Amino acid sequence: MEEKKLDINSVIGFILIFGILMYMLWQNQPTPEELEAQEKVKQEQIEAERKAEELDQIKITKSNDFLVGTGLDSLQEIAVKNKLGAFAYAALNTSDKETVVESELLALKFSNKGGYLSEVRLKKFVDYDSLPIYLIKNNNSLFNLNFGTTDSRILNTKDLPFKPTVTKNGDITVISMKLKVSEAKFLEYRYELKDNDYMLDFTIRSQGLNDIINSSQAINLDWDLKGYRHAKSISYENRYTDTHYEYEGGKDDYTGARDADEEIEDVTWIGYKQHFFTSVLLTDKPFKTVHIKTENLVEDEEIDTVFTKQFASKIPLELQGGELNQTMDWYFGPSDFKVLDQYGRNLDEIVPFGWGIFGWINRYIFMPLFGFLGGFMPYGIAIVVMTILVKILLSFVQYKQFLSQAKLKILKPELDAIREKHKDNKMKAQQETMALQTKAGASPMAGCLPALIQLPVFYALFQFFPSAFDLRQKSFLWANDLSSYDVVANLPFHIPFYGNHVSLFPLLASIAIFFYMRLTTGQNMQSAPQQEGMPDMAKMMKYMMYFSPIMMLFFFNNYASGLSLYYFISNVISIGIILVIKNYILDEDKIHAQIQENKKKPKKQNRFQQKMAEMMEQAEKQKQAQQKRK
């Protein structure tokens, strides 16, 4: 292959071409006179553009009469003035930051844009994952005043800048957030925070705005909140998350776990309850109407959900002499009966102790008793001791119930004989059965009434334990939190209605219920007389003996372990009481002898028994008449 060599003639050619180009550029460069002329033209162009911009600004200023003489010197400020009108003063004299204030119990942040609480942290509590409890954070809450102005604008305070002022007066911190028209004219949100209090004084007032706020248009206060999840079981927490309110001079109500869309009148407070924590807006002068909405945000309980429910309230406000002056209060704190009750404003109704006699039993018996026991012993032990005391008090009821069943068991042969004798005349069999039971003092109603007496106590405690704030994050044995479910094993899958874990207290309670029902159901089946249809009844009672524990196991697997602990101890004690009554107290021979003595004595029927007998005779006559027609 031929080797390539450098061509000297080509090199000389490139050098000559480069030299010619440089010479031509030097010859064609502008003279100093030409450079001066170019600079002059450039300056004239800049000056012309500046004059055109000033002319445009003058035209904009003249087209807006309210801007004449204001001295505004930027298009941005002009745009703000066009949008906000009189409130542009606030936009040009405040900054979009947050104001931070703390007390012994609360850590608060106020947004200068909107003037509302942008963050509320309860300093004494943490959630199930040991994270701080926030009721408000990261824009989960909206507080907005919507109103019209006399120059035909519709404004929302959430978009407007407020100027903060924080002053300290002893143990009270005053936070004033002002939306200013001028130094003498403003809309103010005023908060007063006490060092050791969950309640904040809150006032909305205006000064000098009677010629700015349009009194002919509605002024609406919007308060929205998206509730954060705080508990381990989202389904359990959501069951006790709802809107509570007081209306018509002291009545109280709540929406329950369902979605709600309601309008209520004469409202004195609205509370967004998140099971163990609550946000409440109270007013000194009742709101005439409030439109409330509650929406469930939990679509799938198997997913790690952040929020529980969406709350919203729309509240029309009224002007007084052309100005706003609404004195209110905020409560941000625990749903603790003792804390809420001390304010004396019916806030304790937020704690769902039940209605009527059930609430009465919880408020005046179980709450004081449990508080007393919990004052000097662990709360798990307090539950056990309270259960023992309740069962001792109700033991006489169980005795009456078991005595009635024993009497019916002794009478069973005679009752069966009556039914066999009158197997073709059921009405006659029923009449003689009632007569025999009345003489022997062994009415089936005597066994039902004691059971009915226990129902209020049973239901009251069912309401009490899920609402007892003192149980929150208190441990006992293997349960880390008596207000939530205990876990002894996690499952690699999810069982519908049960969950993905195994709780031991519900399992123990279910076993105890099974043996309790086996004792009581067996006694009932032995005392039940044999007649048509009774084999089916016996089967149903037998099925219930198995079905009830299974239902208990599934239903309570996600419930508070404190409640399951109560049912476990309660049923164990009930089993013990029944065994003692059966083996050491009741003597069937003595009961049989007493029944025979009672049968010899004339027994006068009461009005109820007489009425029942008359009805049965009348029904028998009607039946016989129908048979004759056939």
Structural domain spans, the chain: 46-92, 93-352, 372-613
Q: How confident is the model at residue 2 (pLDDT cuts 50, 70, 90)?
A: very low
Asked whether 352 and 359 are in contact (CB, 8 A), the reply is: no
Alpha-carbon span 10 to 12, nearest angstrom = 5
Alpha-carbon span 350 to 273, nearest angstrom = 7
Alpha-carbon span 99 to 446, nearest angstrom = 68
Which one has a higher pLDDT value, 18 or 242? 242
Write the pLDDT tens digit of every residue in 31-58. Answer: 666 556 666 656 666 665 665 555 444 4
Of the listed ranges 77-86, 255-264, 511-520, the one predicted with least confidence: 77-86
Asked whether 488 and 503 are in contact (CB, 8 A), the reply is: yes
pLDDT of residue 66: 35
- 458 burial via Cβ count (<10 Å: 0-12, 13-18, 19+): middle
Mean per-residue pLDDT over the chain, rounded: 78
**pLDDT of 353 above 70:** yes
> Do you know the residue count of the chain?
630
Write the pLDDT tens digit of every residue in 232-259. Answer: 888 888 889 999 999 988 888 998 888 8
Mean pLDDT of 450-465: 79
Write the pLDDT tens digit of every residue in 399-413. Answer: 776 777 666 666 666
The interaxial angle of helices 395-421 and 588-600, nearest 10 deg, is 60
Write the pLDDT tens digit of every residue in 91-147. Answer: 555 566 889 999 999 999 999 988 999 999 999 999 988 899 999 999 999 999 998
Place of tokens 């009805």: 615
Alpha-carbon span 166 to 112, nearest angstrom = 12
**pLDDT of 565 above 90:** yes
Of the listed ranges 200-204, 369-373, 540-544, the one predicted with least confidence: 540-544
CATH number of 93-352: 2.70.98.90
Alpha-carbon span 630 to 628, nearest angstrom = 5
Q: What is the pTM of this model?
A: 0.74
Alpha-carbon span 626 to 630, nearest angstrom = 7
